[in-house]
Structure 1
Amino acid sequence: MKFLTSTFCTIALSLLLLNGCKIATKEYGTMLIHGGPIYTVDSLQTTVEAVVTKDSIILYAGKLEEAEKYKNEQTQVIDLEGKTMTPGLIEGHGHFMGLGYNELELDLINTTSYQEIVDAVAEKVKTVAPGEWILGAGWHQSKWDSLPVDAVNGFQRHDLLSAATPNNPVFLSHASGHAGFANAKAMEIAGIEILPKDGIDKLQVEGGEVMRDELGRPTGIFNERAQGLIWQHVPESTPEQNNKAFELAVAACHRNGITGFHDAGIGRETIALYEQMKTADKMKVRLYGMLTGRDKELLGEWYEKGPLVDPDNLVTIRSVKLNCDGALGSRGAWLLEPYTDRPGHFGHETLPMEMVLETALNGLRKGFQVCSHAIGDRANKEILDRYETAFKELPDLKTDHRFRIEHAQHLHPDDIPRFAQLGVIPAMQAIHLSSDRSWAIDRLGEKRIKEGAYMWQALLKSGIPIVNGTDVPVEPLNPIASLYASISRKTLKGLPEDGYEPEQKMTREQALKSYTLDAAYGAFEESIKGTITAGKLADFTIYNQDIMTIPEDEFLKTEIAMTIFDGKVVFKKDE
């Protein structure tokens, strides 16, 4: 009896000690956020009163009363003071280093005339040495107040620019990235000549065009792959420039509430830079990298070693980016029927479709997602055809492939339901509608615009998610503008009153999801981000007003008030 009593006491004491240890080791949060609308994008609880994080992970999301049980004296408390919070926004298609370099070089995105470009370059000439290259980006002739009277195929000639820059080579990228504008000095360095009298043009480029006037003289416009004739002569960036551009890109993401970034087309040098920055603890954005399809040797190396899914969730590489046609602005998008405003011209197939099929088969075999750039209806159709062929050839490997088409801007009506049928994700940048729709109708005509351009709601209703974004630096990184375009289908000046093809608008819930959960899904990352759910990464975007309820005409006044990345405040507007 003594033994039983003693044993019982020992067990009871052990239980008390065990419970005491449990109480002592109760998890406490490192951050508690409350005091404003919190939209989770989680269908099980769409809004919560408070969120608790533990270092880089969400510990709790729900009632404030319950959240405060996770608070101790070390917990940082953030009172939203009426501001609104969502999951951290994800840029679903952009060019990260292009974003950084756009801040280092001439930014021409707001120019409204050819003369403004010339003036900006002339100012830059004053700050550089003779012979030094001047680079810039962002001009778009269709957004100017007017075109020069001597325009060729809707583009300016180089003469005015060349007269202002006789001693410096200049190359200015079109806003789309699918054309470039060179001055005479740059063309002289590249050996670009007047069309020879024998009619043999040594400058014909497959998948591109050196634009010429009626006398065979180059106008300075290099479309699609012809840009390489100039780019090969531009000096390589220095390591110092690369580092600075990287830091500027990170800061721009934080200012814009961007915590994740799908980097559309990176090479070995960029990958090495990202690895270096991660090692130096400077990788403060979650990058999802797409290997450039332009480097077959690089692809072969990665096929051998397989995808990199970063356990630290900072730099993941598990997809391939193919550039299959051009852009509408430069009339490079590959169409089934000719351009309305350039009869007989169908755009450019900038990559052989055999390469798309080959890459799709390799992607299925090696575990890589394939992301193909396609803007024109023919490019979209041809890519869907190649994807479908690959799925039929390797049916056992097509499960959850999540292949994508980047932009999917103009579709033949017959191809719209094929995205859902094949499980192909459209990554569409809503801001392109605001910027392009007013002049895109000149390229395609009313029928093609209304039946197949920017078909967001038709795609969503078919059962496939849309990944949103800006295609930065083609457009500014600002997600507010792209969200506004998603829900209004208007220009940033608020026109037209009802929006272009208003039946294709996204709801606010769909728009937010396209920048969070659906973007995460498009990168196989929906289990770790995209919603404010316990167990996911502590990345949040905080706004100065409620983007889910404010009147539409107030939406563009929204500002990013704070960005939280990895459980830490990385941007605060007041500071």
Structure 2
Amino acid sequence: MQFAKENGHFKVKNLSIRSFKIIADGALGSHGACMIQPYSDEPENYGMLLKTPSEIKAVFEEAKHYNYQVNSHCIGDSANRTVLRFIDTLLSSTPDHRWRIEHAQILHPEDFELLSQSGALPSVQPTHAVSDQRWAEDRIGKKRLNNGAYAYNSLQKSSGMVLFGTDFPIENYDPFATIHAAVERKNIENEPLKGFISDEAISFEKTLKAMTLWPAYGCFEEANVGSIEKGKTANLVIFDQPVKSHSNFLPNYSWITIINGEITFDMR
């Protein structure tokens, strides 16, 4: 908080600092995600919050005081509910706060409305779903899996937008793996054949927004980046093949990369 107090919103070259990250709970795979009901494969285990509710609230209040965002790592439905309730309470009078829920991996079905009214933005990584698909049902059971887990379509409808990332180096940073996971709900080996929880697929058009303009909005940069418009920074890539989605994974590669209006990579 001392940095925020002394510097406010800080920007130098391509680096912008105006947010804090809170790790609210652990990961689903290690049974550390904080759940409302116990794990299906460990009936005595609910996971855990890594910070107490009072600690989380204290960080939120200071961040609000310094006009900083808070981006909260929330995997389990209990962690998501706890953080969303705090956001809804603290920022009800600040509609354009753009505080983010990082991962938003499992939400209780009743909490999608809470997400909508809180104004929080879900920031997710589509490849998580297709990486976890082999064991996720073991952790939380079929009912929870199909009612609020990896629910990117439902998240987008609730909040009006969803922000996509990769969680590199934990996950594959290939943007075309992200597209394939979001639209086809498959990994780059094209598994599973019919897609993982395919009802939660995002359209190709919304996926492109979730990788460009919506993340720019999520960090208050939509006036500078996120789309090709006059007056915005020229960060562009010309690909070897047309950018599209297909039922089978299609790799693609940069032919020309332009950053800040300058060609930084050229295969011509």
Q: Report the TM-score range of the alignment, normalised by the length of the smaller protein.
A: over 0.9
Is 1:567 aligned to residue 241 of structure 2? no
1:391 pairs with one of 81, 91, 98: 91
Is 1:464 aligned to residue 160 of structure 2? yes
**Counterpart residue number, 1:340:** 40
**Counterpart residue number, 2:78:** 378
Aligned amino acid, residue 82 of structure 2: E
1:497 pairs with one of 193, 206, 225: 193
Conserved? CA contact 2:127–2:172, under 8 Å: no
Conserved? CA contact 2:216–2:222, under 8 Å: yes
**Unaligned stretches of 5+ residues in structure 2:** none
Measure, in 2, the Cα distance between the counterparts of 1:300 and 1:455: 37
**Counterpart residue number, 2:9:** 307
When the two structures are superposed, what TM-score results if normalisation uses the length of structure 2? 0.95
1:362 pairs with one of 62, 72, 81: 62
Conserved? CA contact 2:121–2:159, under 8 Å: no
**Aligned partner of residue 62 in structure 2, secondary structure:** helix
**Counterpart residue number, 1:478:** 174
**Counterpart residue number, 1:437:** 133
Measure, in 1, the Cα distance between the counterparts of 2:214 and 2:149: 21
Aligned amino acid, residue 358 of structure 1: A
1:508 pairs with one of 196, 204, 212: 204
Conserved? CA contact 1:335–1:376, under 8 Å: yes
**Aligned partner of residue 427 in structure 1, secondary structure:** strand
* Number of residue-to-residue matches in the alignment: 268
**Unaligned stretches of 5+ residues in structure 1:** 1-298
How far is 1:304 from its partner?
Answer: 4.1
Superposed CA RMSD: 1.6
Between the two structures, name the one with larger relative contact order (CA 8 Å, sep ≥ 6). 1
Measure, in 1, the Cα distance between the counterparts of 2:3 and 2:227: 34
**Counterpart residue number, 1:326:** 26
Aligned amino acid, residue 490 of structure 1: K
Conserved? CA contact 2:125–2:165, under 8 Å: yes
**Counterpart residue number, 1:449:** 145
Give every structure 1 segment of 4 or more consecutive aligned residues whose post-TM-superposition deviation is greater than 4 Å.
none
**Counterpart residue number, 2:122:** 426
Measure, in 2, the Cα distance between the counterparts of 1:315 and 1:494: 36
Flag the structure with higher strand content.
1
Is 1:541 aligned to residue 237 of structure 2? yes
Residues 183-332 of structure 1: pairs in structure 2 closer than 5 A = 299-310=1-12, 312=13, 314-332=14-32
Is 1:551 aligned to residue 246 of structure 2? yes
Aligned amino acid, residue 383 of structure 1: V
1:124-169 C-alpha deviation (Å, 9 max, x unpaired): xxxxxxxxxxxxxxxxxxxxxxxxxxxxxxxxxxxxxxxxxxxxxx
**Aligned partner of residue 372 in structure 1, secondary structure:** strand
**Counterpart residue number, 1:66:** none
Aligned amino acid, residue 567 of structure 1: G
Aligned amino acid, residue 568 of structure 1: E
Measure, in 1, the Cα distance between the counterparts of 2:180 and 2:226: 20
Conserved? CA contact 2:104–2:122, under 8 Å: yes
Is 1:350 aligned to residue 50 of structure 2? yes
**Counterpart residue number, 1:72:** none
Measure, in 2, the Cα distance between the counterparts of 1:551 and 1:495: 13
Measure, in 2, the Cα distance between the counterparts of 1:436 and 1:539: 32
Conserved? CA contact 1:419–1:464, under 8 Å: no
Aligned amino acid, residue 53 of structure 2: M
Measure, in 2, the Cα distance between the counterparts of 1:307 and 1:355: 23
Give the direction of change, closer, same or farther, for the CA distance of 1:524–1:306 in structure 2 (3 Å limit): same
Conserved? CA contact 2:224–2:233, under 8 Å: yes
**Counterpart residue number, 2:222:** 526
